[in-house]
Amino acid sequence: MSTIQEMPAVIDYPRYINREQSLLEFNRRVLAQAKNPDIPLLERLKYLCISSSNMDEFFEVRLASLYELANQPGTSTRPDNMNPKEVIAQLSETAHAVVQEQYNTLNHILIPDLQKENIRFLRRNHWNDVQRAWIKKFFIESLQPVLSAVGLDPSHPFPRVLNRSLNFIVSLEGADAFGRSNGLAIVPVPRSLPRIIKMPNETSNGENDFIFLSSILHANVSLLFPGMTVTGCYQFRVTRNSNLFIDEEEVDDIMSALRGELSTRDYGGAIRLEVADNCPPHMVEYLLDRFNLDEKALYQVNGPVNLHRLSALPDMAQRPDLQFAPYSPRQSTKKNLKKSFKLFMRHKKSDSLFERIASKDVLLHHPYEAFNPVVDFLKEASQDPDVLAIRMTLYRTGKDSEITKALVKAAQNGKEVTAVVELRARFDEDTNIIQATRLQDAGVHVVYGVVGYKTHAKMILVVRRENDRMRYYTHLGTGNYHQITTRFYSDFGLLTANQSVGRDVSKVFQQLTSLGETKDLEVLLQSPFTLHSGMLERIRREAENARQGKPARIIAKMNGLEEQEIIDTLYDASQAGVKIDLIVRGICSLRPGIPGLSENITVTSIIGRFLEHHRVYYFENSGQKPELFCSSADWMRRNLLARVETCFPILDPDIFQQVYTEGLAIYLQDNTGAWKLQPDGTYLQAIPEGRPGFNAQLAMIDKYSE
């Protein structure tokens, strides 16, 4: 067993952990990867960039939602029942600490370590004459033509500043071309400009010398204000509320309404102001006033105001020795299938993927196995003369999606194709609108789910005529049909010809398109109808078994756990003696390890090369017939009660064992990438003791690389 650093036993805690506070703790675990010397250096930089991107979303979405909640009298947060204004104050303190840690990591750990590897950021006070001349020429030729400085006066009011865009506030002395003295100007920087520039070899002492765009602009900003004297130049960035506001009950066309809202997303209410830490107080106060923000929304930073843009550096540096070794997902469709998917397909000309699935369920474990079989499943369906209909949900797909192309081809080939496209997938709305329009133009029946309920389920249903009867072939998954994220997210996908599963999925699609009531599903659990109650029923059954002295165990893996009734029922099960192991990557509002409440519960978070994304739920069921489910749904209120989700049982015995081993058991052995949640809401990293370190993700890579 791994050993966790000791903490004093304190049990006087609130019953629940605030979900936003838990989210910030998750980001701390991501940031810790940037300081881990066992991780390749450029990968550590990527973790810093991810933590920066996560913080952006935290302010844009989570903190913005809390501000909205705070404006509604008598409201409180879930599940901890706190006053939103008190929560905002607490989160502000934590968020400031996280941001400070990010810049300390950059300035005192990563930049010095990069310099040891001859990857350098050249500071202005270290430029030689040759470099200074090249930089000025670069500014004049590549930057100045696209920069539009705005001098502030009654004719030039403070400009509308885009969400998360780089800007400079400039103080000036002297008169402009019209004899006026303005004093201040704003220089917005287009997003199209790179934030780091690689110096050419002829001007540098090394192959990997870089300059921050902000440094170039600082050094040459006076060229934008001829005849005036620049007395100060300071970068700033404002983060805005990015939530979209659509009253679905009041709009006739959700696509048109979304298009209208997307055009205003970049100009939502200001939530955070980031500004250079050397900016004078009076200019900081000026900016805060312009954005109607108070001091707790101010983040003064020592470095680029958008660390995420440093993610371009690994590709620019071309140092593969400082990155993870490339990993190519295995192409086989089954662990014990000794030939690749393509070889199987070529084994006999009469063979088809449908025959393969009809003979036995196929499990795909991404990213260790390729996503190609899912695309091939759709491609074969689009060309098979016996396939009559294809139905599919699309939540996130990507801009140039092979999935979309296959559906278009199927419609062109005369198949009855229905796509349930979730237009409201956050930050993918524009892409999904484009995909939906493309599908409609090809003759696909496109619907947008159910008003008030995001369609988050991951389903493909193929209806095929075989021997004068209809047969269902189904794909169900825990992750999105997005070929990029399948390379980095851990997810399960099941291809099955089980007709009970197929009939259930067919009923769910009928519900989504006709809005008719779906009753009596045979094996699937579905949100918002039976999934929540189905999970509660099974947790309570484990508790009753424990009280009767029968075997009782729950192991559950998910991205987030926040739904209050689920947590309370897990607490009750713990008190009944049920051993409960939860593997929760991100938000977790449950407090484990509290005597008399949750002493039988452990919570583990796995942080590694891949983003842990699958949802797997195991119930011992007195040892007679254990149950194992995979799902698109976390144990979050939104997933269980406010979305359309599916949860499907693993019925094949071989696949049952594989999912249990690869989706649950292996993570409970991890003692290097695992973090253990403490009763006070903090996390401590597991430390190997008495045995070699074991990393679940590395073990999976080794297993699938054999």
Q: pLDDT tens for residues 339-381? A: 434 444 444 444 689 999 999 999 999 999 999 999 999 999 9
Q: Confidence class of residue 593 from pLDDT cuts 50, 70 and 90?
A: very high
At 427 the pLDDT is: 64
Can you name the CATH fold of 122-318? Answer: polyphosphate kinase like (3.30.1840)
Other CB atoms within a 10 A radius of the CB of residue 164 amount to 21
Helix-strand-coil split of the chain, %, nearest 5: 40, 20, 35
The CA–CA distances, whole Å, from 665 to 176, 476, 616 equal 70, 22, 11
Mean pLDDT of 435-445: 91
Domain ranges of the chain: 19-99, 122-318, 341-520, 526-705
pTM of the predicted protein model:
0.92
At 413 the pLDDT is: 97
At 179 the pLDDT is: 63
- List phi, psi (to 5°) of 139: -60, -50
Tokens of 593: 């390890």
Tokens of 244: 């979209």
pLDDT over 80 (residue 87): yes
**DSSP, res 67:** H
Q: What is the tens place of the pLDDT at every residue in 91-142?
A: 999 999 999 999 999 999 999 999 999 999 999 999 999 999 999 999 999 9
Give the ranges where 34-173 is alpha helix by DSSP (H). 41-57, 64-70, 84-105, 111-116, 129-138
At 330 the pLDDT is: 83
HSE value, Cβ hemisphere, 13 Å, CA-based, for 667: 30
At 280 the pLDDT is: 97
At 669 the pLDDT is: 97
Pick the residue with more confidence: 107 or 13? Answer: 107
pLDDT over 80 (residue 616): yes
At 365 the pLDDT is: 97
Q: What is the mean pLDDT of the chain?
A: 90
At 177 the pLDDT is: 65
pLDDT over 70 (residue 551): yes
Tokens of 351: 């063979």
Contact of 360 with 473, CB cutoff 8 Å: no
At 9 the pLDDT is: 41
Give the DSSP letter string of 137-195: HHIIIIIGGG---EE-BTTBPPPPPPTT--EEEEEEES--TTS----EEEEE--TTS-S
Which range has the worst mean pLDDT, 248-252, 257-261, 312-316? 248-252
pLDDT over 90 (residue 548): yes
CATH 3.30.870.10 corresponds to the domain 526-705: yes
**DSSP, res 6:** P
Active site residues: 456
Orientation of helix 19-33 relative to helix 41-57, angle to 10°: 160
**DSSP, res 485:** G
pLDDT over 80 (residue 39): yes
At 7 the pLDDT is: 42
At 397 the pLDDT is: 85
Contact of 554 with 581, CB cutoff 8 Å: yes
At 235 the pLDDT is: 97
pLDDT over 80 (residue 684): yes
Which range has the worst mean pLDDT, 126-140, 303-317, 516-530, 587-601? 516-530
Q: What is the tens place of the pLDDT at every residue in 570-580?
A: 999 999 999 99
Which range has the worst mean pLDDT, 90-94, 280-284, 685-689? 685-689
Do 526-705 and 341-520 fall under one CATH topology? yes
At 346 the pLDDT is: 45
Contact of 635 with 560, CB cutoff 8 Å: yes
Q: Confidence class of residue 561 from pLDDT cuts 50, 70 and 90?
A: very high
At 396 the pLDDT is: 85
The CA–CA distances, whole Å, from 650 to 295, 333, 364, 529 equal 53, 17, 13, 20
At 655 the pLDDT is: 98
d(CA 377, CA 369): 15
At 26 the pLDDT is: 98
Pick the residue with more confidence: 430 or 52? Answer: 52
What is the separation of C-alpha 188 from the centre of its chain, rounded to a whole number of angstroms?
29
What's the CATH class of domain 341-520?
alpha beta
Which range has the worst mean pLDDT, 10-14, 52-56, 157-161, 396-400? 10-14
SS (H, E, C) 247-287: CCCCCCCHHHHHHHHHCCHHHCCEEEEEEECCCCHHHHHHH
d(CA 530, CA 459): 17
pLDDT over 60 (residue 333): no
Which range has the worst mean pLDDT, 258-262, 272-276, 578-582, 682-686? 258-262
Out of 3.20.20.140, 1.10.540.10, 1.20.58.310, 3.90.550.10, select the CATH number for domain 19-99: 1.20.58.310
Q: What is the tens place of the pLDDT at every residue in 393-433?
A: 998 887 788 999 999 999 999 999 999 998 766 666 778 78
Maximum pairwise Cα distance, the chain: 90
Pick the residue with more confidence: 326 or 451? Answer: 326
